[in-house]
Chains A and B, each alone.
Chain A
Amino acid sequence: MTFDTTLIISQLFNGLVWGIVLGLLAMGLTIIFGMMGVINFAHGALYLVGAYSAYTSIMACTQWMGAATGSFWIALVAAPIAVGLIGMVVEFFLLRRMYEREIIYQFLLTFGLTLVIQELVTIIWGGMPRSFPTPDLLQGVVDLGFMLYPKYRLFVLILTPLIMLAVWLLLVKTRYGAIIRAGTEDRDMVNLLGINVRRVFTVVFSIGAAMAGLAGVLAGPIIGSIQPDLGNSVLLASFVVVVVGGLGSFTGAIAGAILVGLVKAVTSMLWAEASNAIVFALMAVVLVFMPQGLLGKR
């Protein structure tokens, strides 16, 4: 293989990796929107908190245990749980009060939360970029036969679909998942069957938040350094993904994420300055020809 095709393939792989991380975010957004009808503008901020809490957990573990070995794996579990708990608190004490009101209040609340969280992150960790280490075990590259590819990215490419699959199975194969899906259709009826729908809402928001947090941890070693405005571009990108894939559709969110990731990768190779614009152009084109998105229901 010539140098150029290897470059193209590795760039496509990068697009895939980024796409799949976006897919995790978009899936969380979709679960929250599908069940609760809430468009969560705080999703990017939850991703930000995921990245920073993982960073702190890694640093703390490194300090206590001496070496950095293993600390990433603790962070990989701890950070999503922490963000999930934050989601639970947000839903229980704040978001819950907005359901009965006009939708603009949800926008204001979740958007406001983004500002508050971003400011808190700046106060706690400072505004300067912090470098996010790659776990020892996954440093270096793997020889795939046709090219060398970073171990860590390959790990993300394998782990993330497994997590998506697990969430999908939870939603499709379990009774709790059936309750969540039933709740998207008819809340009152679910209530009439003796199920506390409000509690289900809290759990759903928490799962969505944890997925954003997980995306934050996984993205850390890929972007290499983190700073408090991290969530903004990601929020925008995951909204593009959800719109392209089809609002409320899981498979759409994943397909949209991979498409957006690949388009971004290819355009940043050919015309890097315009790659963001082209992603938005893609969204516009999809909306013109398929207003419901690629896999959205009408």
Chain B
Amino acid sequence: MLQVEAIHSYYGESYVVQGISMVLKEGEILTLLGRNGAGKTTTLRSIVGLKPPRRGKIVFMGREITRMKPFEVARLGIAMVPEERRIFSSLTVEENLKIGIQKGRVGRWTLESVQKLFPILRERRHHRGNQLSGGEQQILAIARALMGNPKFLILDEPSEGLAPLIIKLIAETIKSLSTEGMTILLVEQNVEMTLQIAHRHYVLDQGKIIYSDTNEGLKNNREIRDRYLSV
């Protein structure tokens, strides 16, 4: 579904992503793990067109998207839920959701179906973005991404700063989306959570992939977890 071939990206003058390659299969949950500053978020920004790589190539469903603009990438069916959630604070919950609609992309997700998945979004539909709690904002950000009926969902630290109950809800949602065929790329600091839902993991350090394994493999590899993933 997605092939990233040796991309190199810079953040200002600093060389953040130093030749990262990865492959995602349809319906799979893949994580990018690693400490702050390892290059995870920049990798995501390169995929969605916010930070095109200086070298390397990105192919999505057989089409090269390396130099596409973010809105073009989104129209192909790649949705990103960014780290800070980026809810439009002056818009209501319902307006936030409606902005996610893409005319060319209809499917399972509509205003009704996301409200059914997350009833809180119906209850709060007239509240403004800035009146929501962190957990509600995260749910809204995911729902807004679903409104465009993507094939591939990218989530950047969805569990950050949230209560265990909401983390559980989000983890279950990610899991069930993937069983329905959605491909998911997940960046997380919460390794425990990813071990419960992911299929495969990549561990990044200083802009390079230093380890990749199946979920079982990472579960059993204490050394990697202690060295690169402990807080």
> How far apart sit A196 and B49, CA to CA, in the bound complex (Å)?
13
Which of B92-100, B162-170, B197-205 lines the interface with chain A? B92-100
A179 CA / B101 CA spacing, docked (Å): 11
Alpha-carbon gap, A191 to B50, bound state (A): 9
Which residue, B88, B101, B144, B145, has most C-beta atoms of chain A within 10 A?
B88
Q: Is the CB of A193 within 8 A of B48?
A: no
CA distance A197 to B69 in the complex (A): 11
Report yes or no: B90 in contact with A185, Cβ–Cβ below 8 A: yes
If the complex has contacts A186-B86, A192-B82, are A178 and B74 also in contact, measured as CB distance less than 8 A?
no
Interface set, chain B 73-107, CB cutoff 8 A to A: 74-75, 79-80, 82, 86, 88-91, 95-96, 98-102, 105
Q: Count chain B residues whose beta carbon lies closer than 8 angstroms to a beta carbon of A.
A: 26
Q: When the two chains form their complex, are residues B50 and A175 in contact, meaning their CB atoms are under 8 A apart?
A: no
- Cβ of A203 to closest chain B Cβ, rounded Å: 15
B88 partner residues in chain A, CB cutoff 8 A: 178, 181-182, 185-186, 189
Q: How far is the CA of A195 from the CA of B100 in the complex (A)?
A: 9
Query: Is A100 interfacial (CB-CB < 8 Å)?
Result: no
Which chain A residue lies CB-closest to B148?
A: A194
Contact call A191/B99, Cβ cutoff below 8 A: no
From A189, which residue of chain B is reached at the shortest CB distance? Answer: B86
Does A4 make an interface contact (CB < 8 A)?
Answer: no
Whether B71 sits at the interface, judged by CB under 8 Å, is yes
Q: Is B27 an interface residue, CB under 8 A from the partner? A: no
Indicate which residue in B74, B99, B105 contacts A179 across the interface (CB closer than 8 Å).
B99
| Contact of B70 with A by CB under 8 A | yes
Residues from 92 to 125 in B contacting A, C-beta threshold 8 Å:
95-96, 98-102, 105
Interface string of A163-194 (1 = CB under 8 A from B): 00000000000010011011001101111111
Once the chains are docked, how many angstroms separate the CA of A194 from the CA of B106?
A: 13
Question: Which partner residue on chain B sits nearest A196 by CB separation?
Answer: B71
Assembly CA distance A181 to B92 (angstroms): 11
Q: How far is the CA of A192 from the CA of B105 in the complex (A)?
A: 14
Q: Which residues of B contact A179 (CB under 8 A)?
A: 99
Please tell me if the beta carbons of A197 and B71 are within 8 angstroms of each other in the complex.
Answer: yes
Distance between B140 CB and nearest chain A CB, rounded to angstroms: 12
- Are B98's CB and A178's CB within 8 A? yes
**A194 in contact with B91 given A188-B50, A189-B82 (CB within 8 Å):** no
For A191, the chain B residues whose CB sits under 8 A away are 50, 69-71, 74
List B contacts of A189 (CB < 8 A): 82, 86, 88
In the complex, what distance in Å separates the CA atom of A178 from the CA atom of B90? 9
| Min CB–CB distance B8 → chain A (angstroms) | 22
Residues in chain A near residue B145, CB distance under 8 A: 193
Check A192–B80 contact: CB distance below 8 A: yes
- B81: nearest chain-A partner, CB-CB: A192
Residue on B nearest A190 in the bound complex, by CB = B99
> B70 to nearest A CB, angstroms?
4
In the A-B complex, list the 7 residue pairs whose CB atoms are closest, starting with the nearest: A194-B74, A191-B70, A189-B86, A182-B88, A178-B95, A194-B102, A194-B75
A to B CB contacts below 8 Å, 12 in the list = A178-B98, A181-B88, A182-B96, A185-B88, A191-B74, A192-B50, A192-B71, A193-B71, A193-B74, A193-B144, A194-B105, A195-B71
Other contacts beyond A192-B50, A192-B82: 14, CB < 8 A: A178-B88, A178-B95, A179-B99, A181-B91, A182-B99, A185-B90, A188-B86, A189-B88, A191-B70, A191-B71, A193-B71, A193-B148, A194-B71, A194-B75
List residues of chain B with CB under 8 Å of any chain A CB.
Answer: 48, 50, 69-71, 74-75, 79-80, 82, 86, 88-91, 95-96, 98-102, 105, 144-145, 148
